[in-house]
Amino acid sequence: MAFHCQILLQLVLSHALLILIFSGLISTRVTVHGFSIKEANVDDLQLAFQQNKLTSRQLVEFYLGEISRLNPLVHGVIEVNPDALYQADKADGERKAKAPGWLSELHGIPVLVKDNIATKDKLNTTAGSSALLGSVVPRDAGVVKRLRDAGVVILGKASLTEWSDSRSLTLPDGWSARGGPGLNPYVLSASPCGSSSGSAISVAANMVAVSLGTETRASMICPANANSVVAIKPTVGLTSRAGIIPISLRQDSIGPICRTVSDAVYVLEAIVGFDENDAEATKQASKFIPHGGYKQFLKPDGLKGKRLGITRIPFLNYPSGSVVPNTNGCNLEINNIHVILNVNQSGEATALVAELKLALNSYLKDLVVSPVRSLAEVIAFNKKFSDLMTKSLEEYGQGIFLVAERTKGIGPVEKAALLNLQKLSRDGFEKLMIDNELDAVVTPGADFAQACHLASALGD
Ligand SMILES: *[C@@H]1O[C@H](CO)[C@@H](O)[C@H](O)[C@H]1NC(C)=O
Ligand SMILES: *[C@@H]1O[C@H](CO)[C@@H](O)[C@H](O)[C@H]1NC(C)=O
């Protein structure tokens, strides 16, 4: 299990290279007391706080300005927190009262959370769907509670592919009925990927410093890759799933999407750990949190002596006739990779639709108030209101929801599918790592995330 996390940190490092390239292109400067906020990372912001060059209030005001300027174009944010300035003032007061060193790295830093992560405040938690408008969550999600304890400012809710892309196969990446079409700020015509699109769009466009996303199948790694930012997809259970509008308790995970590796590590450090509302999984995974936390690994030579693998097929295919670089025999392959990448052949689709119905029904039942109490009621809502709200709602359909509604729990077919997934993982990604004694795999793009998420999901 330990190596699953390492591999994702490795993916992260490949994005870090992209960040260096892009930050060189951005010349606009917005300054307060001679300090440039735009592109500043968490360390820069904390230093500016300490040197009295910046307050949390000024930082929140800057981001609110950027949201009103840019969000009508890129649609990364669904809602802004009416209490954000109040929380910023509170953080500014606490900073004055405490000696430096007593506050966490994230104290006073604005955070945007994906709209499928519950916040018990004035913000709605809807997964982008109007069906959940007006619903009242029982409590903050476990990860949100941890962020509040660290002293962050909850800036608002990030847009997403509606229902984290579990509604239909035809939804455009980044689109939701409430959020509109999320766009990639670097190339507006390019996909922002999903489903944590708004989290990645918003940090890439400097509408917020750091954000949270969730992943079931590449839903953080893919938008991070598409928007040239950093994501860490934790092993399932390392971060609490309590209060997340779910897809599959076997595969769902919550993690940071930020502009730099160190910012992502600060957020990871703040959100991991045991949560009584997701007790079994978080207790199991807590064992793998390194003694002394993750920050100690933030060092320039951290990869020294590590053994890295490259899997060429199908992640690194060169067109025929190319001069293929010599990779010193580092030419690994994952067994059955084409089956693993096909949700229908692997059995993943069979498992996911049955798990979706169970998990979503349970989330909806636990809400204090809600217009919909089951997947069946969400489907009925979509049918009834599609014309009133947006034409797209009807146009994009709800094919996955309809298939999920027809399932009847985890029966023999689903059990066989789950066993097959376990076998594919054991003979595939896990075997690759163990046989080759790898610490990590280096890969371009985000497709590889789909090959290792089965392993991280099975608790072994
Ligand atoms: C939450 O949704 C309601 C509509 O049901 C809306 O009036 C309210 O402004 C929303 N909250 C925020 C913080 O946007
Ligand atoms: C899986 O099956 C669905 C429904 O038949 C189909 O629409 C989809 O394209 C298939 N996916 C893959 C990867 O083959």
Q: What local confidence, expressed as pLDDT, does residue 383 receive?
A: 87
Number of domains in the chain: 1
12-26 mean pLDDT? 33
Within a 10 A sphere around the Cβ of 383, how many other Cβ atoms?
12
Dihedral, 388, 389, 394, 400 alpha carbons, nearest 10? -130
Name the phi and psi angles at 291, rounded to 5: -60, 125
Sign of the CA dihedral with 148 first, then 152, 154, and 160 last? negative
Query: Is residue 202 situated within a structural domain?
Result: yes
Query: Is residue 149 situated within a structural domain?
Result: yes
Q: What local confidence, expressed as pLDDT, does residue 394 receive?
A: 66
CB burial string 275-293: b at 16+ within 10 A, e below: beebeebbebbeeebeeee
Question: Residues for the chain: how many in total?
Answer: 460
Q: Which of 56, 114, 145, 211 is catalytic?
A: 114
Atom of ligand 1 at shortest distance to CA of 124? 1
Are the beta carbons of 86 and 183 closer than 8 angstroms?
no
Is the pLDDT assigned to residue 392 strictly greater than 70? no
* Domain extent at residue 170: 2-297
Query: Is residue 241 situated within a structural domain?
Result: yes
Q: Would you list the DSSP string of 74-98?
A: H--EEEE-TTHHHHHHHHHHHHHHS
How many Å lie between the centroid of ligand 1 and the Cα of residue 124? 6
Query: Is residue 281 situated within a structural domain?
Result: yes
325 band by pLDDT with thresholds 50, 70 and 90: low
Residue 13 CB–ligand 2 contact under 6 Å: no
Is the pLDDT assigned to residue 11 strictly greater than 70? no
Query: Is residue 439 situated within a structural domain?
Result: no
CATH code, domain with 111: 3.90.1300.10
Residue 140 CB–ligand 1 contact under 6 Å: no
How many Å lie between the centroid of ligand 1 and the Cα of residue 156? 12
C-alpha–C-alpha distance, residues 27 and 36, integer Å: 11
User: Six-digit token pair at 119?
Assistant: 């916040």
Query: Is residue 366 situated within a structural domain?
Result: no
C-alpha–C-alpha distance, residues 36 and 30, integer Å: 5
Measuring CA to CA, how many Å separate 319 from each of 103, 249, 324, 331, 341? 52, 39, 9, 16, 21
Query: Is residue 321 situated within a structural domain?
Result: no
Residue 339 CB–ligand 2 contact under 6 Å: no
394-418 mean pLDDT? 94
Is the pLDDT assigned to residue 98 strictly greater than 90? no
Query: Is residue 111 situated within a structural domain?
Result: yes
Q: Would you list the DSSP string of 154-212?
A: EEEEE--SGGGGTS-TTPPTTEETTTEE---SSSTTS---SSSHHHHHHHHTTS-SEEE
* pLDDT tens digit sequence for 100-111: 778 999 999 999
Atom of ligand 2 at shortest distance to CA of 345? 14
Q: Could you give the count of Cα atoms lying within 13 Å of 383 in the half-sphere of its Cβ?
A: 9
Q: Is 63 helix (H, G, I), strand (E, B) or coil?
A: helix
Name the phi and psi angles at 324, rounded to 5: -85, 125
Residue 342 CB–ligand 2 contact under 6 Å: yes
* pLDDT tens digit sequence for 139-193: 999 999 999 999 999 999 999 999 999 999 999 999 999 999 999 999 999 999 9
Q: What local confidence, expressed as pLDDT, does residue 388 receive?
A: 54
What residues does 157 pair with on adjacent strands?
A: 79, 113
The reply to whether the predicted model has a pTM over 0.75 is yes
114 is catalytic: yes
